[in-house]
Amino acid sequence: MNICIVTDIHDQPKHEQCILSKLETKPNVSRFALNDLCGRPDLWGEALHRYLFYDDGMDEVVRILKQTLSGDCVGIGYSAGGTALWRAAAAGLYFTAIFCISSTRLREEATISTPNQVFFGADDPGRPSTEWLSRGVSQTFVVNPAVRFG
């Protein structure tokens, strides 16, 4: 199995903090940073966020993911990385499944046919509304009351 990880705007989580680091059997993993994918390694944090969502940087990320990934791949995206995977799936990139962790921008996205599961903290102020979650945009969601923000 191939796994594609797309990190958040701060290039987090680091390898040792990723949920995959807990697996006994290590799968084939490709890790991508959003600033590298959009061709702007000089950007990170809020500047990268603005570039991705207000200056069409996310379109470049999706284009590069479509060029780079092929075959059976499970995508794991953290925050904006999850949004990138979701948009790539919407644009026709095949994934076996995608998992989006605290990808709050999904609240602006439509349903995709790719099997997916999304995870949010209960106190995350940017998480999609209960209406979005109940509409079935995501096939499965978890809102974890133990995860705190702020």
* Residue 148 confidence (pLDDT) above 60: no
Query: Alpha-carbon distance 11 to 44, whole Å?
Result: 8
Pick the residue with more confidence: 128 or 56?
Answer: 56
d(CA 139, CA 65): 22
**Is the pLDDT score of 66 beyond 50?**
yes
User: Quick check: 26 pLDDT over 70?
Assistant: no
In a domain, 38, yes or no: yes
CB 66 within 8 A of CB 93: yes
Q: Is the pLDDT of residue 140 over 90?
A: no
Inside any domain, residue 107: yes
Q: Give the total number of structural domains in the chain.
A: 1
Q: Identify the CATH number of the domain in which residue 138 sits.
A: 3.40.50.1820
Domain residues for the domain of 138 are: 2-144
Residue that has been written with the tokens 């594609």 in this structure: 4
Q: Is residue 150, in this structure, part of any structural domain at all?
A: no
Does residue 149 lie within any of the structural domains? no
DSSP class of 16? G
Question: Can you say whether residue 50 is alpha, beta or left, with left for phi > 0 and alpha for psi between -120 and 50 degrees?
Answer: alpha
By the 8 A CB rule, do 134 and 111 touch? no
